[in-house]
Chains A and B, each alone.
Chain A
Amino acid sequence: DQQVKQNSPSLSVQEGRISILNCDYTNSMFDYFLWYKKYPAEGPTFLISISSIKDKNEDGRFTVFLNKSAKHLSLHIVPSQPGDSAVYFCAASDAGNQFYFGTGTSLTVIP
């Protein structure tokens, strides 16, 4: 039973525009959320995280928004660049012990 869901398997955006990747979760006990980026033949790399006491966290071009009442988080990339083309995974954790990942969204940024 998937506790973290990414319902869009793929997304294409034009270079310079905003990319919005979405993630939903079911477990209200999750208190920490992360986004990872994965290139082919490499392991995932950490991108940005947010704890449940916040509703927004920014790091350069990347912003994560958390809506606890809707059990929804999103990753905004502005402006999108061709090098952002990768698979993005969201993940959630309860107290940093177990981690639950979504199925991933493949982002393609078109030059």
Chain B
Amino acid sequence: EAQVTQNPRYLITVTGKKLTVTCSQNMNHEYMSWYRQDPGLGLRQIYYSMNVEVTDKGDVPEGYKVSRKEKRNFPLILESPSPNQTSLYFCASSSPSPVGYEQYFGPGTRLTVT
């Protein structure tokens, strides 16, 4: 089954404790991206990657790091989480279609930083 998986699905952590949220896709997609969803703000893009070893900042990259060493994986790293990073995070992947880029989203990771 074609899918994007994220782990963990739920995470409660404390300020300053480094964490990684993993994202993996099995569709051989070149493009992968991370978003956060907050009430009243919709989805905002954190980082995206056009292919292996190619990453770029989205709209809200501060406080986050990413890496793309393999095509299927795109982990999101919070080196020193802060309470304002409490959010619902989504990973997505896509490949070019005749129309454009139709992204497939993972189920989300709800992160709480206390």
Given contacts A42-B107, A43-B108, A97-B48, contact A103 B100 (CB under 8 A): no
For the complex, give the distance between the alpha carbons of A101 and B40 in Å: 12
For the complex, give the distance between the alpha carbons of A2 and B35 in Å: 15
Name A1-35 residues within 8 Å CB distance of B.
2, 4, 6, 32, 34
- Which of A43, A89, A100 is close to B59, meaning CB atoms less than 8 Å apart? A100
Name B38-80 residues within 8 Å CB distance of A.
40-45, 48, 50, 56, 58-59
State which size class the interface on A falls in. 20 to 34
Classify the secondary structure of B's interface with A: strand
Classify the secondary structure of A's interface with B: strand
Bitwise interface map of B from 67 to 107 toward A, beta carbon under 8 Å scored 1, else 0:
00000000000000000000000101000100111111111
For the complex of A and B, 5 pairs with smallest distance between CB atoms: A43-B105, A101-B43, A103-B42, A32-B100, A96-B101
Report which A residues bind B (CB closer than 8 A): 2, 4, 6, 32, 34, 36, 41-46, 49-51, 89, 91, 93, 96-104
